[in-house]
Amino acid sequence: MTRMPIKNTPRAATLDDAQPVSRALARAFGDDPMMRWFFPDDSSREAVLGRYFTTLFTRQYAHHGVCERTDAGAAFWVSPEGQAKAVPDAETIQELQNILGDRAPLFRDAVEAAAEHTPKEPHWYLAVIGADPAAQGQGHGAALLRSGLAKADTEGLPAYLESSKPSNLPVYEHFGFAVREEVRLPGGGPVLWAMRREPRPPAGV
């Protein structure tokens, strides 16, 4: 019996996709230094990350971001127009606090520290991107990156992200990002690398 290939072509993610999106991201971020810091319990991390990404997706980015998925990955982008709206409301903050438990203050401080380094000019923000490690090497992350960057390039705008995983830096650099700052998170947290990519002429131009 022939196995069906796992499609890595990005498509819009809707609220109906919450389960596969959150599952892929929970697996993708299982070894991420920042997520290990927020969720230190190895035995429960994947399940709790599933709740975390479900909350971010269904309450925040699905409504005010540009969310795309493949069969094994997902990415949440925020356009310049959506950035004022793509902030968690009081109910979302409370839900995240419930998920984070006693780590909630660390999360709040990390978000505030990262926000201090966000570019002031209009830009596309890559809030979340990840692919299930079981599908590693099949191009899911690269396809999602290219799709979002194409939107930024079409508008002639830079792209911005923060990474807390050193092994991801060369990947982002391959796509044109450059490290602009290293941000040590308060409370003894890991380093965040703030990365920016200047716009390129859209393909075919």
Q: Is the pLDDT of residue 4 over 80?
A: no
Parent domain of 183 = 11-197
Counted domains in the chain:
1
Residue 3 included in any domain = no
pLDDT at 36: 96
CATH of the domain at 48: 3.40.630.30
Residue 4 included in any domain = no
Question: Distance (Å, rounded) from C-alpha 178 to C-alpha 171?
Answer: 11
| Assessment of whether the complete model's pTM goes beyond 0.85 | yes
Q: Where are any strands of DSSP class E within the chain?
A: 11-12, 66-69, 73-78, 124-131, 159-163, 178-184, 191-197
pLDDT tens column, 99-130: 999 999 999 999 999 989 999 999 999 999 99
Residue 70 included in any domain = yes
Question: Distance (Å, rounded) from C-alpha 191 to C-alpha 184?
Answer: 4
Q: Is the pLDDT of residue 22 over 80?
A: yes
User: Would residue 63 be called left, alpha or beta, if left means φ above 0 and alpha means ψ between -120 and 50 degrees?
Assistant: alpha
Q: What angle do CA 125, 52, 197 make, to 5 degrees?
A: 15
pLDDT tens column, 157-205: 999 999 999 999 999 999 999 999 999 999 889 999 999 999 998 665 5
Distances (CA, A) of 142 to 28, 71, 72, 102, 171: 14, 13, 12, 35, 9
